[in-house]
């Protein structure tokens, strides 16, 4: 087998390792899904009508779902980080590093398995959404394209998670970082349109990578939304493709370098 | 000295200072390990043993020096070195969620065995380490000894030329420790060279053909366990007599049996004499004293501790600053 062939094979072996965790220890997956599923119920029924009215959105649940999809993609960072830091602490990463395997396969495998678990997340959430009355209005292809954009963002986020997992020293300190995901997920076009935010905050929210994906996904689902006139909001589809690319080009090299040195 | 065989591990003048520390972890570390031997790095916590293992197993870059393992340079030819070594660290580096069998199959696949060969190899190793019955259980339900054995199995997928064991028995109960020792001996019989680190003089004594005593990042003494023990003084029997008038007689009996140096202390009615480390020799001493009609208040076998090795080699206790 060629070098590339082995890299692919090694990556798949690692991916299968992590996917079996979903089967044998599903609490990780359930943990990630808990917050968005609760959010569907809380925001869909408790705050929904009020927030929708205040934000000027007719159907808040249709507006909310793309935001929750993206929120779940962002929460995935926590799982990735904790899985990587746990492996590092137990010396599992050291063992992988002394194997004659492809040096990028461990990280690529983790990333791939997280994207696959992202598919599971999206399917469960979409099911919840359909139950509370969310629909897509632009046909199957557009809906699939929207999910594709969300997974593209998830892919970029897994590499942030991998990098953090290699930097922090313990799962406990990883948990502290995790609270940073909340502003990332909320200061964006997720729960309220940026137009409803204070003037100084709106640009920050609009330039949040999450916003581009959410706005583009809303567009593809045919969900209602209030899109501002700013360049970044008007070019959401482009930015939903570009943002993850930028994140990947920063965090993949950082993570790989850190993994190869990994002198703890 | 000229040796008939090329060393399988050769480290010369290795220096390594971690960015987060002020003192170097390795400070002119030299090591020669001959093929087919068990070589122990003996030293207290923080002596640099683990760093040395990490350097030799391609995990950690070093600042200065040269290291060759199994005929290849660990920096320039790290991949070739990795194909020829196995590493078992201080913690069992296993996937806790997967079963023992799935763990071994995964590591075999990552050693680039085909799926079928990986299954066969995993089954062989489980059998060899007595884990076949527990093969399908998740590793998180394994006992400490079972984990260590599985961990050892995972580093033997390709029959490595050199196996690194970083404190392989720390935290194990005596039975599990004996199991690991047997496994290591078995490996050496199959031609693997083993480099292990330990804090226990007894472990080095039981397993190693050669011992390097490590302190402050360098080797301060080297030799066979016998040679080291001779320098330290081996095990000693300590006899406390009930009757002060019998001390002299006891010294005579022990002197005849054990030879010198004999240490007689009339004030505490104690006689100390060198003996082998085995319990059976203690029994012999007890019998001889009994036959001579001596009344013994207390008798104990004292093994030299790591502390005493250091005391005799360096003149100070372990952990004491220079």
pLDDT digits (tens, 9 = 90+) for B29-43: 999 999 999 999 998
In a domain, residue B88? The reply is yes
Task: Report, in angstroms and rounded to the nearest whole number, the Rg of chain A calculated over CA atoms.
Answer: 19
In angstroms, the CA B183 to CA A203 distance is 64
The residues, any chain, with a CB within 8 Å of residue B18's CB and separated by 6 or more, are A263, B25, B51
DSSP state of B73: E
| DSSP H helix total and E strand total for chain A | 13, 0
Tell me the two tokens of residue A155.
Answer: 């892919």
In a domain, residue B116? The reply is yes
Check whether residue B56 and residue B80 sit in a common domain: yes
Q: Which of A236-245, B130-139, B255-264 has the lowest mean pLDDT?
A: B255-264
State residue B288's pLDDT score.
Answer: 87
Check whether residue B240 and residue B224 sit in a common domain: no
The answer to whether the beta carbons of residues A81 and A161 sit under 8 Å apart is yes
Taking CB atoms and an 8 Å limit, are A9 and B89 in contact across chains?
no
* Contacting B residues, span 11-30, partner chain A, CB-CB under 8 Å: 18
At residue B16 the predicted structure's pLDDT band, cuts being 50, 70 and 90, is: very high
Predicted TM-score (pTM) of this structure:
0.79
Which phi and psi angles does B41 have, rounded to 5°?
Answer: -100, 115
Look at residue B303 and tell me whether its pLDDT is greater than 80: no
Check whether residue B282 and residue B240 sit in a common domain: yes
In angstroms, the CA B7 to CA B28 distance is 19
Check whether residue B182 and residue B272 sit in a common domain: no
- The whole domain housing B267 covers 235-302
Task: Tell me whether strands B236-241 and B270-274 are parallel, antiparallel or unpaired.
Answer: antiparallel
Check whether residue B111 and residue B79 sit in a common domain: yes
- Cβ-Cβ contacts under 8 Å, B93 against chain A: 90-92, 94-95
**Domain boundaries along the sequence of chain A:** 3-261
In a domain, residue B1? The reply is no
In a domain, residue B309? The reply is no
In angstroms, the CA B151 to CA B115 distance is 20
Look at residue B305 and tell me whether its pLDDT is greater than 70: no
In a domain, residue B2? The reply is no
Among B60, B93, B163, the residue to mutate for chain A (most A Cβ within 10 A): B93
Check whether residue B50 and residue B84 sit in a common domain: yes
* Beta-carbon contacts below 8 Å between A and B: 76
Look at residue B2 and tell me whether its pLDDT is greater than 70: no
The number of domains in chain B is 2
Where a domain ends, among B215, B230, B245?
A: B230
Check whether residue B113 and residue B181 sit in a common domain: yes
State residue B316's pLDDT score.
Answer: 58
Q: Closest by alpha carbon to A74, among A155, A18, A170?
A: A155
Burial class (CB in 10 A: 0-12, 13-18, 19+), B226: exposed
- Cβ-Cβ contacts under 8 Å, A261 against chain B: 61
Check whether residue B75 and residue B212 sit in a common domain: yes
In angstroms, the CA B181 to CA B198 distance is 12
Task: Report, in angstroms and rounded to the nearest whole number, the Rg of chain B calculated over CA atoms.
Answer: 23
Q: Is B85 on the interface with A (CB under 8 A)?
A: yes
Check whether residue B92 and residue B176 sit in a common domain: yes
DSSP helix/strand/coil, B22: coil
CATH at B282: 3.30.70.100
Distance from the first to the final alpha carbon of chain A: 33
Distances (CA, A) of B150 to B117, B140, B305: 18, 12, 30
Check whether residue B66 and residue B102 sit in a common domain: yes
Check whether residue B128 and residue B200 sit in a common domain: yes
DSSP helix/strand/coil, B292: coil
Tell me the two tokens of residue A8.
Answer: 């692919």
Instruction: Measure CB to CB from residue A94 to each of B59, B61, B94 and give the nearest one.
Output: B59
Task: Tell me whether strands B193-198 and B38-42 are parallel, antiparallel or unpaired.
Answer: parallel
At residue A154 the predicted structure's pLDDT band, cuts being 50, 70 and 90, is: very high
Share of chain B above pLDDT 70, in %: 91
Where a domain ends, among B205, B230, B255?
A: B230
Q: Is B98 on the interface with A (CB under 8 A)?
A: yes
Check whether residue B134 and residue B273 sit in a common domain: no
Where a domain ends, among B214, B230, B246?
A: B230
């Amino acid at each position: 087998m060629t070098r590339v062939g082995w890299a692919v094979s090694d990556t798949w072996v690692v991916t299968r390792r992590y996917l079996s965790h979903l089967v044998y220890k599903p609490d990780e997956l359930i943990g990630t899904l808990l917050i968005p599923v609760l959010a569907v119920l809380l925001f869909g029924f408790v705050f929904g009508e009020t927030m929708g009215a205040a934000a000027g959105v007719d159907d808040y649940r249709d507006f909310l779902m793309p935001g929750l999809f993206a929120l779940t993609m962002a929460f995935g960072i926590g799982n990735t980080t904790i899985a990587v830091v746990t492996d590092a602490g137990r010396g599992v990463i050291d063992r992988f590093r002394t194997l004659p395997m492809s040096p990028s396969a461990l990280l690529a495998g983790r990333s791939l398995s997280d994207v696959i678990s992202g598919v599971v997340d999206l399917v469960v959430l979409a099911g919840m959404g359909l139950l509370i009355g969310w629909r897509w209005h632009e046909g199957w292809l557009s809906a699939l394209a929207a999910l594709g954009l969300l997974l593209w963002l998830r892919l970029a986020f897994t590499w942030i998670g991998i990098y953090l997992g290699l930097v922090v020293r313990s799962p406990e300190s990883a948990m502290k970082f995790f609270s940073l995901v909340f502003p990332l997920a909320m200061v964006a076009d997720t729960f309220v349109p940026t137009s409803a935010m204070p003037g100084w905050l709106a640009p920050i929210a609009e330039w949040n990578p999450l916003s581009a994906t959410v706005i583009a996904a809303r567009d593809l689902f045919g969900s209602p939304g209030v899109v501002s006139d700013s360049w970044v909001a008007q070019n959401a589809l482009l930015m939903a493709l570009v943002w993850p690319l930028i994140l990947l080009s920063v965090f993949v090299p950082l993570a790989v370098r850190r993994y190869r040195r990994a002198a703890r | 000295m000229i040796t008939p065989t090329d060393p399988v591990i050769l480290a010369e003048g290795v220096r390594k200072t971690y960015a987060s520390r002020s003192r170097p972890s390795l400070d002119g570390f030299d090591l020669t390990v001959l093929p087919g031997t068990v070589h122990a790095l003996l030293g207290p916590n923080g002596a640099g043993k683990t760093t040395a293992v990490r350097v030799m197993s391609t995990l950690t870059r070093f600042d200065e020096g040269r290291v060759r393992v199994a005929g290849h340079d660990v920096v320039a030819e790290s991949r070739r070195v990795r194909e020829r070594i196995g590493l078992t660290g201080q913690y069992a580096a296993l996937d806790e969620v997967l079963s023992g069998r799935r763990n071994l199959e995964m590591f075999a696949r990552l050693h680039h065995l085909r799926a079928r060969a990986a299954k066969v190899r995993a089954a062989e190793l489980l059998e060899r380490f007595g884990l076949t019955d527990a093969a399908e259980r998740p590793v998180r339900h394994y006992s400490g000894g079972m984990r260590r054995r599985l961990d050892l199995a995972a580093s033997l997928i390709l029959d490595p030329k050199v196996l690194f064991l970083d404190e392989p028995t720390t935290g194990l109960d005596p039975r599990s420790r004996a199991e690991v020792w047997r496994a290591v001996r078995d490996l050496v019989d199959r031609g693997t060279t083993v480099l292990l680190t330990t804090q226990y003089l007894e472990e080095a004594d039981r397993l190693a053909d050669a011992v390097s005593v490590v302190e402050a990042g360098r080797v301060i003494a080297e030799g066979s366990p016998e040679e080291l023990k001779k320098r330290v003084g081996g095990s000693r029997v300590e006899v406390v007599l009930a009757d002060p008038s019998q001390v002299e007689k006891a010294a005579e009996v022990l002197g005849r049996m054990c030879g010198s140096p004999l240490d007689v202390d009339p004030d505490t009615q104690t006689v100390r004499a060198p003996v082998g480390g085995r319990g059976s020799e203690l029994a012999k001493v007890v019998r001889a004293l009994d036959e001579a009609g001596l009344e013994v208040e207390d008798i104990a076998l004292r093994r030299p501790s790591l502390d005493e090795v250091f005391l005799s080699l360096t003149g100070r206790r372990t952990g004491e600053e220079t």
